[in-house]
């Protein structure tokens, strides 16, 4: 296997680890009895002293779900840089995925809160730095990064898509298949594909998402040792960047940067509402207000968005050239509003709900990817890294932290009446939030077209 293929496979495995457990965890945690409201008993006295808006962060579900965004925030400020400067990248990758893989594997075999939370936290603290470490390995071993990185990074999207498909056969009601006694291989496949688990059996079988994630992580740990040697960066090369995030905060004095930063927070919140709620909505029975999709098809349906993302990225450059930054971003934000509006008003149309997953690609590429490109275009070279880190904290950290704390509470307490969830009311929350964010971009986001404002933020004509 040549170097480029190794790097591509590295990206496939790296993102598959995350894609295996994320889509279904939101429905799995309440099935284990973990509360969306109450903190663990050991923390109750401490949590009771906190303001009400902070208490939700310490519910049992909130603590588990927020392990990843907390790790992302820590990673942006400390652990990514520490790993980059002190360890050979491929060896750090192998170590992280060995320990982190064992931890996420363990999540599949425990139903008690503290063991589950500790294992998830260990996994996330070790996994999040590898997202940047894999990029470092790729950039250090490419001849032409501008030409090669896009193709190699696409492996991550393929990984997210591919890992969903084994669950078509894992999350199957095999008792139903056995009872049908299909005659021949074609008939067997027909029965299997139509016999997905639902309800409590589906929630019980969701433990396999953690087991699959752990297995992939252990495979990547071994494969990492075959990657090209990538030595640690010398400390003196980045010594001035130790507090780069503090410098990045100074960029918020520019109104257009501040507006984009706040809109990024809202869009990240809405984006994470999708992951919190979509799996449960797709799998809920129609009489309970859901779509009624068999459990073994939920993850493949959700990957339609990633397929659309691949295609959307191909036209992103042309779209930016034709519409400019502001309107491209507005379309990305409105994609969320449109998707949740379809969820709210057309839940009975299974075909429509499946088709609207395509909007995920537009939401991601036209907003998040555009933000990264915008930062690279508008900020001088010495400010780009810190600015990207600042927006990453909002995208992977703070926005997800708020969504993962509020979303379980909304679906299990505020909008639940008996055993029925008011999905319409629930989905109108992110719909209105996305509309407000789009309006803010339209009215207040006015980046300079040429020159540079005071403080060193560069602008290019467009």
Burial of 338 (0-12, 13-18, 19+ CB in 10 A): middle
416, β-bridge pairs: 421
Cα gap 370→377, rounded to integer Å: 10
Residue 93: per-residue pLDDT: 94
Cα gap 34→462, rounded to integer Å: 51
Whether residue 196 is contained in a domain is answered as no
Whether residue 451 is contained in a domain is answered as no
Dihedrals phi, psi of 405, to nearest 5 degrees: -90, -40
* Per-residue CA distances from 393 to 110, 338, 398, 417 (Å): 30, 26, 6, 35
If DSSP codes are grouped into helix, strand and coil, which group holds residue 289?
coil
**Which of residues 219, 242, 265 is at a domain's end?**
242
Are 47 and 153 members of one domain? Answer: yes
Are 128 and 218 members of one domain? Answer: yes
Cα gap 415→412, rounded to integer Å: 7
Whether residue 461 is contained in a domain is answered as no
Residue 460: per-residue pLDDT: 32
Smallest Cα–Cα separation from 96: which of 129, 49, 144, 73?
A: 129
Cα gap 449→378, rounded to integer Å: 10
**Overall number of domains in the chain:** 2
Is 137 within 8 Å of 10 (Cβ atoms)? yes
Cα gap 376→9, rounded to integer Å: 27
If DSSP codes are grouped into helix, strand and coil, which group holds residue 322?
helix
Are 234 and 309 members of one domain? Answer: no
Smallest Cα–Cα separation from 384: which of 241, 262, 266, 265?
A: 241
Whether residue 192 is contained in a domain is answered as no
Cα gap 147→174, rounded to integer Å: 47
Cα gap 449→366, rounded to integer Å: 20
Are 261 and 363 members of one domain? Answer: yes
Are 233 and 326 members of one domain? Answer: no
* Per-residue CA distances from 81 to 41, 245, 249, 389, 460 (Å): 36, 12, 18, 11, 30
Is 184 within 8 Å of 40 (Cβ atoms)? no
Enclosing H/E stretch for 181: none
Total-model pTM: 0.87
Q: Which domain holds residue 348?
A: 244-444
User: Digits of tens for pLDDT over the chain (462 positions)?
Assistant: 788 899 999 999 999 999 999 999 999 999 999 999 899 999 999 988 888 778 888 999 999 999 999 998 888 777 666 776 778 889 999 999 999 999 999 999 999 999 999 999 999 999 998 988 888 888 888 877 667 777 888 899 999 999 999 999 999 999 999 999 888 899 999 999 999 998 889 999 999 999 999 999 999 999 999 999 988 876 554 444 555 566 667 778 889 989 999 999 999 999 999 999 999 999 998 888 899 999 999 999 999 988 988 888 888 888 998 999 999 999 999 999 999 999 999 999 999 999 999 998 889 989 998 998 888 777 766 666 667 778 888 898 999 999 999 999 999 889 988 888 999 999 999 999 999 999 999 999 998 874 443 344 433 323
Whether residue 460 is contained in a domain is answered as no
The label of the residue with tokens 């509309």 reads 435
Are 299 and 220 members of one domain? Answer: no
Cα gap 233→237, rounded to integer Å: 7
Are 156 and 296 members of one domain? Answer: no
Q: What sign has the CA pseudo-torsion 250, 251, 256, 257?
A: negative
Residue 127, both tokens: 């996994």
Are 264 and 321 members of one domain? Answer: yes
Residue 288: per-residue pLDDT: 86
Are 119 and 249 members of one domain? Answer: no
Q: What is the CATH number of the domain that holds 92?
A: 1.20.1250.20
Whether residue 388 is contained in a domain is answered as yes
**Which of residues 218, 242, 266 is at a domain's end?**
242
Is 65 within 8 Å of 277 (Cβ atoms)? no
Are 277 and 163 members of one domain? Answer: no
């Amino acid at each position: 296997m040549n170097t480029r293929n190794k790097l591509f496979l590295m990206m496939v495995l790296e993102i598959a680890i995350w894609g295996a457990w994320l889509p279904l965890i939101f429905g799995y945690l309440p099935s284990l009895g973990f509360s969306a409201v109450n903190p663990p008993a050991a923390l109750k006295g401490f949590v009771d002293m906190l303001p009400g808006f902070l208490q939700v962060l310490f519910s049992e579900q909130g603590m588990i779900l927020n392990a990843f965004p907390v790790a992302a925030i820590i990673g942006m400020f400390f652990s990514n840089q520490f790993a980059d400067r002190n360890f050979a990248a491929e060896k750090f990758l192998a170590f992280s995925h060995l320990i982190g893989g064992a931890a996420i594997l363990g999540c599949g075999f425990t139903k008690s809160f503290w063991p589950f939370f500790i294992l998830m936290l260990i996994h996330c603290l070790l996994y999040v730095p590898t997202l940047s470490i894999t990029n470092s390995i790729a950039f250090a071993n490419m001849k032409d990064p501008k030409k090669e990185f896009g193709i190699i990074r696409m492996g991550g999207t393929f990984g997210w898509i591919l890992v969903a498909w084994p669950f078509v056969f894992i999350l199957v009601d095999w008792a139903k298949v056995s009872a049908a006694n299909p005659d021949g291989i074609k008939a067997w496949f027909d029965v299997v594909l139509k016999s997905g688990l639902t309800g409590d059996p589906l929630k019980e079988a969701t433990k396999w998402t953690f087991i699959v994630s752990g297995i992939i992580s252990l495979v990547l740990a071994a494969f990492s040792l075959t990657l090209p040697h990538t030595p640690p960066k010398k400390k003196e090369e980045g010594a001035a960047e130790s507090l780069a995030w503090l410098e990045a905060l100074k960029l918020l004095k520019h109104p257009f940067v501040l507006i984009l930063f706040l809109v990024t927070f809202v869009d990240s919140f809405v984006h994470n509402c999708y992951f919190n709620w979509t799996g449960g909505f797709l799998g809920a029975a129609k009489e309970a207000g859901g779509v009624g999709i068999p459990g073994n098809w939920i993850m493949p349906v959700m990957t339609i968005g990633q397929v659309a993302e691949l295609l959307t990225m191909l036209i992103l450059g042309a779209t930016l050239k034709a519409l400019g930054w502001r309107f491209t971003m507005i379309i990305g934000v409105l994609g969320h509003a449109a998707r949740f509006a379809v969820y709210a008003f057309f839940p009975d149309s299974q075909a429509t709900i499946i088709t609207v997953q395509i909007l995920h690609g537009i939401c991601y590429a036209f907003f998040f990817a555009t933000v990264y490109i915008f930062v690279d275009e508008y900020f001088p070279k010495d400010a780009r890294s810190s600015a990207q880190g600042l927006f990453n904290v909002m995208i992977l950290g703070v926005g997800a932290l708020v969504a993962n704390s509020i979303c379980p509470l909304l679906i299990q307490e505020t909008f639940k009446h008996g055993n029925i969830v008011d999905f319409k009311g629930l989905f109108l929350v992110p719909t209105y939030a996305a509309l407000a964010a789009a309006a803010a971009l339209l009215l207040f986001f006015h980046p300079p077209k040429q020159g540079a404002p005071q403080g060193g933020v560069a602008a290019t004509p467009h």
